[in-house]
Structure 1
Amino acid sequence: MTAKTIMIQGATSDAGKSTLATGLCRLLARRGVRVAPFKPQNMALNSAVTADGGEIGRSQAVQALACGVEPHTDMNPVLLKPNGSTGSQIVIQGRAIGNMEAKSYHDFKPKAMQAVLESHRRLAEQYQCVVAEGAGSPAEINLRDGDIANMGFAEAVDCPVILVADIERGGVFAHLVGTLELLSASEQDRVAGLVINRFRGDVKLLQSGIDWLQQRTGKPVLGVLPYLHGLHIEAEDSLRLDLPSRAKADGRSLRVAVPAMPCISNHTDFDPLRLHPQVELLLVKAGEPVPPADLIILPGSKSVMADLAWLRHYGWEEAIRRHLRYGGKLLGICGGLQMLGEKLHDPDGLEGEAGSCDGLGWLPMETTLAAQKRLARRRGRLALDGTAVAGYEIHMGVTRGPALQRPALTFDDGVADGALSDDGQIMASYLHGLFDHPEACRAILRWAGLAEPEALDYPALREAHINQLVDMLEKHLDLEPLKDCLPPQALG
């Protein structure tokens, strides 16, 4: 039996599509539905490694967790990873096939659509329900031709759509009505309901607007979802610079500074630090002075040489030199590891113009970018104290040099990873997710200078937040108008 598919689209970017999809996945799973997430096309630099050894957007991996299933490449068959203002690396069903400029990708879309429909068909044969998520807005006129991310997909598989809008942005009624007005008649017909997201206050004050909206559009408002303070669901892509850390700047916490580089990738690495009660995490924007810190982390990057030039332009090289001189700790993750070496080579122009450049030079090693991407889930032990660590590798570089003779950690298969400087001040690793597990996080924070770090169980915290989200949906989302679009047990 083929699964029922329902799609969540947004009146704007960041309207809450990913959050609503995650919550709906868990709600359906809680009610006994075999459900899987799906996003036809994702543009994101936050990615995850799947059980079948491929790469998908981070949000679909979290949604799979909400469904209680392993992430699979079919859940996000097209992933675009921007590596400049007009181009992206194209990942099809988990595997990178090369870089394309926007025009070339537009011409490639029919082939991409084949992969989308193939992956959706396989999921539909295995599950009772597929919760699909759109990208951006379906009303972006310049992107309508050949669309595979929103209504183009919905029309191709003939699935209903929930349209969500964020009231915090203002103009929520205009967002919803305007989006519907810009859709074709058949696309309007498949919108099964509307959702207003992130509402604060007494919903009774909104009732006259809801009544007008339903009369004006002929669409039911399925729910007005309240703003959940402190809710943490891993970000699709955007780096939220305005989110505060949990710790107070009181002198008793560990201060961590991370440069918000233009091509920063997998910044979800730092979510456990943002949520840690003893860590003050500072994401430093372009032009801001580099603050005093106990630990500086150089994060992953989709364009390592370009981001390294950005660091130098904004004074990070000298700031890090001063930081090390005064005894501070320095950690490089993935692209950050590559920056810490003496040389970077990109002979094939995989991330920009072909060529080489000097690294920061704090570890005796060199990296050469290669077309074959390393994708793996990994377990091992930290060299610091033997603590178990787990995470994933996503990188295209091959690093060699004397620094690797003193690795930062060793995987369970005996393969060494990264480097730890002779003086113990600098650590570098290709492993993403270093802070996700309590004991590994404690060990690294202790190395960074926190005397008695608490154990933050990030996976348990993430699970609690997903359940908090679903508890809210149970109260505020009415699925009754969708009874013909969902399996029977979905209505509870």
Structure 2
Amino acid sequence: MAAAIMVQGTGSGAGKSLIVAALCRLFKNAGYSVAPFKSQNMALNSYVTIESGEIGRAQALQAEAAGIPPSIYHNPILLKSEGSSGSQVVVMGKPFKTMTASDYYKNKELFWPYVVSAWEELNNRYEIIVIEGAGSPAEINLTEQEIVNMAVARLTSAPVLLVGDIDKGGVFASLYGTAALLKEDVKLIKGFVINKFRGDVNILIPGNVMITDLTGIPVIGVIPYVSGIGLEEEDSLALGSHFESGDRTGTGVKITVLRLNYISNFTDFHALSCEPGVELVYSLRDNDILNSDLVIIPGTKNTVKDLLFLKETGVSGVLQRAVTQGIPLMGMCGGYQMLGKVISDPDMIESRHREVRGLGFLDAETVFESSKVTLRVTAKKTGGIPFIDGEFDNLDCYEIHMGQTKGGSIFKVRVGDETYMDGESKGGVWGTYLHGIFDNDTFRAALLDGLRAKRGLKQTSTGINYIKLRNDAIECWSATVAKSLDMDLIYSLLIS
């Protein structure tokens, strides 16, 4: 039987996910077998597990921090917003159906058993489980329907740490208000954590004493604001309005990722943003697109809506100008589908359009199907890709998509003993379904060297070791959290 501790927040974006990742690494380093658990996540950044199931990307990062393979048991229910139509509900890694929020909350009895069974599976495997809540536990209109905050704390008998984001302002009011609204469940909260603090921590001491006097709950730590942690964010709101990371001088490389309305899996490009001399921009501005060394159309949870948006706003015309000027254009997953001639949706699975003309840069034709592809794969580059020289085998990737695209000529993909072709290239344009391809160091280095060579810049023989960089970032962040929290108290909560 596992010991458990739960991290909840006063609201979305308080920093729960990264704090859970830090605790997973700290417990792992202390010699415990540890796993993350988030019963229900709502995110468009997802990951394919060892069971070929889909979970939130944050839980994959937390599993990485714990030193274990990501599993569907770490996130049994994933909600992927599709806009006004509701959200696709993914249960134990596989799509269940698209539901409105009202329908979803009315059907708690359908999903709660999956939460219980996933918890029991982890409970029997590990010594410590670090649980993450979602949003705020004080949404009083959802108290009876929620299956991710206090309902899980009660199920698992986990002591709760409540995190407040001081960077947003009003942290003491958020902590006090949350505690007040929880009524009987407030007894489950064993400590407050103040996150993202800038300045002299001594300034907070009077407030910490007062909030403890008012609620009976101690402040067990103040975590400083850390810029450039080096670990990807889960929410697209974290991208800001324009730019994520950059170090582009006159000799650097600029990559623009289109900031689609339904952008998903933007973590595909995190490794690029970590490279020295690379500026990664999320933008739809003409100036960014036309002054890039590479433009990427990313994945999307609503390919048709985002495609029509690009046409209606004139961005498609700007892309045409960019390609005419010789700027390489790449499409990932839904972006790959957009690059083709046509997207067919005969059963209107994604939209009310049975057929939509694509951007026409590639000859690809896509047909949406009701079944969803979620696979972990390895791939070999067999065809030409603009500005990427060399042969690459054993590329570690994964696929998440609803449609099937005819043809395929640039990657030979392996799943067990089966193989098939993926991707298409034409002129300076190429597309693929292979998520995570830029996480492969040699492939990413070849891409960047090709872009540098195109501009007559000096090439680099080696780039970063992305796995090592991530591990170092997890270690550094975990050390910060350990210094900031009363870890003795946390360990005492685990054994109480």
Please state which band the TM-score falls in when normalised by the shorter chain: over 0.9
Deviations 1:209-249 (A, max 9, x none): 11111111111211111122210222223242338555444
- Is the partner of 1:23 in helix, strand or coil? helix
Report the equivalent of 2:436.
433
Cα 1:487/1:33, change in 2 over 3 Å: farther
Distance verdict in 2 for CA 1:245–1:181, change over 3 Å: closer
Asked whether the 8 Å contact 2:25–2:66 carries over to 1, the reply is yes
Matches within 5 A, 1:333-352: 333-352=332-351
Q: Write out aligned runs for 1:73-152 (5 A).
A: 73-152=72-151
Does structure 2 conserve the Cα–Cα contact (< 8 Å) formed by 1:40 and 1:77? yes
Question: Using the alignment, how far apart are the partners of 2:324 and 2:110 within structure 1?
Answer: 54
Is the CA contact (8 Å cut-off) linking 1:370 and 1:398 kept in structure 2? yes
Shift of residue 484, structure 1, vs aligned partner: 4.3
* 1:196 matches 2:194: yes
Contact 1:344 1:357 in 2 (8 A): yes
- Displacement of 1:485 after TM fit? 3.0
- CA offsets 1:130-177 (integer angstroms, 9 cap, x no match): 111011011122322311011122123322111001111111101101
Show the counterpart of 1:236: 234
2:447 maps to: 444
Q: Taking structure 1 as reference, are residues 310 and 483 closer, same or farther at Cα in structure 2, changes over 3 Å only?
A: same
Answer yes or no: is the 8 Å Cα contact 1:255–1:282 preserved in 2. yes
2:232 corresponds to which letter in structure 1? E
d(CA) in 2 for partners of 1:248 and 1:125? Answer: 46
Q: Distance in 2 between matches of 1:294 and 1:239?
A: 25
CA separation of 1:480/1:227 partners in 2, compared to 1, >3 Å: closer, same or farther?
A: same
Q: Partners of 1:393 and 1:381 in 2: how far apart?
A: 15
Relative to structure 1, is the Cα distance of residues 317 and 244 closer, same or farther in structure 2, using a 3 angstrom cutoff? closer
Q: Which of the numbers 387, 400, 404 marks the counterpart of 2:392?
A: 387
Which amino acid in the other structure matches residue 198 of structure 2? R
> Counterpart amino acid of 1:341?
G
Q: Does 1:214 align with 2:212?
A: yes
% same residue: 40
Shift of 1:125: 0.8
Q: Which moved more, 1:477-486 or 1:353-362?
A: 477-486
CA 1:183–1:320 in 2, change beyond 3 Å: closer, same or farther?
Answer: same
Deviations 1:96-119 (A, max 9, x none): 112111222122222111110110
The answer (yes or no) to whether the contact 1:29–1:35 under 8 Å persists in 2 is yes
Between the aligned partners of 1:208 and 1:287, the Cα distance in structure 2 is 50
Q: What is the one-letter code of the residue matched to 1:149?
A: V
Which whole-Å CA distance do the structure 2 matches of 1:301 and 1:314 have between them? 17
Out of 380, 388, 411, which is 1:409 matched to? Answer: 411
1:223 equivalent in structure 2: 221
Letter in 2 for 1:468: C
Equivalent residues of 2:79, 2:87 under 8 A apart: yes
> Which has the larger displacement, 106-115 or 445-454?
445-454
Tell me which amino acid in the other structure corresponds to 1:294. Answer: D
Instruction: Quote the Cα distance in structure 2 between the aligned partners of 1:287 and 1:43.
Output: 31
Counterpart contact for 1:257–1:281, Cα < 8 Å: yes
Instruction: Report if aligned partners of 1:128, 1:487 keep a CA contact under 8 Å in 2.
Output: no
Helix, strand or coil at the partner of 1:486: helix
Whole-Å Cα distance in 2 between the matches of residues 287 and 119 of structure 1?
47
Q: Could you say what the CA RMSD is over the residues aligned between the two structures, in angstroms? A: 1.8
Contact 1:73 1:94 (8 Å CA) reproduced: yes
Pick which of 124-133 and 469-478 moved more: 469-478
In the other structure, the counterpart of 1:419 is 424
Query: Is the 1:348–1:354 contact (alpha carbons within 8 Å) kept by the matching residues of 2?
Result: no
Equivalenced residue count is: 480
Rate the CA distance shift 1:140–1:288 in 2: closer, same or farther, 3 A: farther
Name the counterpart of 2:494.
486
Aligned to 2:483: 475
Pick closer, same or farther for the CA change 1:427–1:446 going to 2, 3 Å. Answer: farther
TM-score by length of structure 2 reads 0.93
2:14 is aligned to 15
Q: 1:331-366 CA deviation, whole Å, 9 max, x = no partner?
A: 011001100111101122222225110001111121
1:457 corresponds to which residue?
465
Q: TM-score, normalised by structure 1?
A: 0.93
- Contact kept in structure 2, 1:163 and 1:194, CA below 8 Å: yes
| Match status 1:466 vs 2:474 | yes
**SS where residue 391 of structure 2 aligns?**
coil
Q: Is the 8 A contact 1:39 1:132 kept in 2?
A: yes
Please report how far the alpha carbon of residue 86 of structure 1 lies from its aligned counterpart in structure 2 after TM superposition: 4.8
- The answer to whether the 8 A contact 2:364-2:424 is kept is no
Per-residue CA shift, 1:171-207, capped at 9, x if unaligned? 110110111011022x100001110011112111111
Q: How many Å separate the matches in 2 of 1:41 and 1:11?
A: 17
Check whether the contact 1:110–1:146 (CA below 8 A) recurs between aligned residues.
no
Asked if the contact 2:290–2:322 (Cα under 8 Å) also holds between the matched residues in 1, the reply is no
Cα pair distance change 1:258/1:188, threshold 3 Å: same
Deviation at 1:63, TM superposition (A): 0.4
Q: Does 1:297 align with 2:296?
A: yes
Flag structure 1 segments of 5+ consecutive residues without an equivalent.
none
Q: 3-state SS of the aligned residue for 2:436?
A: coil
Contact 1:286-1:314 within 8 A present in 2 as well: no
